[in-house]
Chain A
Amino acid sequence: MRSTGTKLLFAGVAIASLLAACGSDSESGSGGGEAITLAVNPWTGSAVNAYVAQAVIQANLGTTVKITEIDENATWVGMDDGSIDAVLEVWPSGHAADKKTYIEEKKSVVDMGLLGPKAKIGWYVPKFVIDEHPELATWEGFKDPELAKLFATAESGDLGQFTMGDPSYVTFDEQIIANLKLPLKYVVAGSEAALLTLIDQSAADKKPILIQFWQPHWKQSKVELVEVKLPDVTQECLDSAANADGGYACDYAVDDLFKAASAKLETKNAAAFNVLKKLSLTTDQQNEVAAMIDGEGMAPADAAKKWADANKDVWSAWLG
Chain B
Amino acid sequence: MAAVSVETLPEQESAAVVDARRNRRNVAFGVFALLAVLAVVIEHEVPGWLDLDIQQRAQAAYKWTITNRQTSPLFTLFLEPVGNVLQWMFDVVMNVLEFLKWPGLVALTGAIGWRTGGLRAGIGGASAMLGVGMISNWDHAMITLAIMLVAVFIALVLGIPLGIWTSRSDRAERVVRILLDTAQVLPIFVYFSPVQVFFGIKVPPAIVVTVIYALPPAVRLTNLGLRNVPVVMNEVGESFGANSWQQLLKVQLPVARKAILLGLNQVIMMAFGVVVLASLLGTGDLGQDVLNALQKQKVGEAAAAGLGIVLLAISLDRITTGDRKHQFSRWSNLVPKVSRQAGQRIAVGLVAVVVLLAHVFDWTTFPSWLTIDVAAPINDAVTWVQDNFHDITQAISDFLVTNVIDPIYKFLLWLPWFLVVVAIAFIGFLSKGWRLATGVGLCMVLTAALGTIPGGVGRERIWDIAMNTLSQVLVAILLSVLIALPLGILAGRSDAFERFMRPFLDIAQVLPAFVYLIPVVFLFGVGRSAGVVACVIYAVPPCIRLTTLGMREVPYTPREAAISFGATGPQEMRMVQLPLARKSILLGINQTLMMVLATVIIAALIGAGGLGLVAYEATAKPNIKLGQGVTGGLAIVLLAIMLDRITQAWGTSKQGGNHQ
Residues of A within 8 A of B (CB): 3-6, 8-9, 12-13, 16-17, 19-21, 23-25, 42-43, 68-71, 73-74, 77-78, 80-81, 83-84, 97-98, 101-102, 105-106, 108, 153-155, 163, 166-168, 171-175, 178, 186-198, 200-201, 204, 218, 246, 294
Contact = CB atoms under 8 A, between A and B. Distances in A.
B95 A71 contact: no
Contact of A175 (B343, B457, B517, B620): B457
Contact of A20 (B95, B527, B528): B95
Nearest to A294: B296
B457 A5 contact: no
B91 A25 contact: yes
B201 interface: yes
Contacts of B197: 77, 80
A21 to B, nearest CB: 5
Contacts of A166: 620
Contacts, number: 212
Interface string B78-109: 00000000000001110110111000000010
A-B pairs, 4 with minimum CB distance: A5-B344, A174-B456, A70-B282, A168-B620
B464 interface: no
A97 to B, nearest CB: 4
B194 to A, nearest CB: 10
Interface string B527-559: 111000000000000000000000000000000
Contacts of B390: 201, 204
Interface in B494-527: 517-518, 521-522, 525-527
Given A17-B95, A73-B620, A197-B521, 4 more contacts: A16-B355, A101-B63, A190-B603, A195-B526
Contact of A83 (B193, B200, B398, B456): B200
Contact of B280 (A74, A167, A188): A74
Interface stretch (B66-74, B223-231, B365-373, B651-659): B66-74
17 contacts: A20-B96, A68-B284, A69-B284, A70-B281, A71-B281, A74-B196, A77-B193, A81-B201, A84-B201, A97-B621, A97-B624, A153-B525, A167-B613, A178-B456, A187-B527, A189-B526, A198-B525
Contact of B95 (A21, A154, A186): A21
Interface of B: 63, 66-67, 69-70, 91-93, 95-96, 98-100, 108, 111-112, 115, 193, 196-197, 200-202, 280-282, 284, 288, 291-292, 294-297, 340-341, 343-345, 347-348, 351-352, 355, 390, 397-398, 401-402, 455-458, 517-518, 521-522, 525-529, 603-609, 613, 616-617, 619-624
B348 A5 contact: yes
Contacts of A168: 619-621
A197 B99 contact: no
Nearest to A44: B296
Contacts of B284: 68-69
Contacts of B603: 190
Contact of A8 (B95, B98, B344, B525): B344
A24 B458 CA distance: 57
Contacts of A200: 297, 522
Nearest to B68: A106
Nearest to A196: B297
B612 to A, nearest CB: 8
A187 B100 CA distance: 50
A197 B518 contact: yes
A104 B44 CA distance: 45
A177 B454 CA distance: 17
A5 B343 contact: yes
A4 B344 contact: yes
Contacts of A174: 455-457
Contacts of B340: 3, 5
A78 B622 CA distance: 14
A13 B111 CA distance: 13
A191 B605 contact: yes
B517 A193 contact: yes
A190 B616 contact: yes
Contact of B282 (A4, A43, A71, A192): A71
A201 B281 contact: no
Given A69-B288, A201-B522, A167 B617 contact: yes
A129 to B, nearest CB: 17
A190 B607 contact: yes
B352 to A, nearest CB: 7
A6 B344 contact: yes
A20 B526 contact: no
Contacts of A102: 66
B99 A68 contact: no
A13 B616 CA distance: 41
Contacts of A198: 521, 525-526
A43 B291 CA distance: 11
Contact of B295 (A13, A43, A187): A43
B146 to A, nearest CB: 12
A216 to B, nearest CB: 15
A52 B317 CA distance: 43
Contacts of A25: 91
B214 to A, nearest CB: 21
A12 B348 contact: yes
Contacts of A171: 456
A150 to B, nearest CB: 16
B607 A155 contact: yes
Given A167-B613, A173-B456, A74 B201 contact: yes
A154 B344 contact: no
B607 A9 contact: no
A24 B97 CA distance: 13
Nearest to B70: A81
A189 B524 CA distance: 12
A178 B457 CA distance: 7
A172 B201 CA distance: 30
A204 B383 CA distance: 12
B292 A5 contact: no
B529 A154 contact: yes
Contacts of B458: 246
Contacts of B622: 73
A178 B458 CA distance: 10
B456 A175 contact: yes
A193 B522 contact: no
A42 B398 contact: no
Nearest to A94: B621
Contacts of A70: 201-202, 281-282
A153 B606 CA distance: 15
A6 B115 contact: yes
B613 A190 contact: yes
B275 to A, nearest CB: 15
Contacts of A201: 390, 521-522, 525
A167 B201 CA distance: 21
- Residue among B95, B348, B456 with most chain A CB within 10 A: B456
A196 to B, nearest CB: 5
Nearest to A168: B620
Contacts of B292: 42, 69
A143 B624 CA distance: 32
Contacts of B517: 191, 193-194
- Residue among B201, B282, B351 with most chain A CB within 10 A: B201
Contact of A188 (B99, B201, B402, B607): B607
B96 A16 contact: yes
Nearest to A193: B294
Nearest to A218: B296
A197 to B, nearest CB: 4
A6 B111 CA distance: 10
Given A42-B291, A193-B295, A194-B606, A154 B397 contact: yes
B514 to A, nearest CB: 9
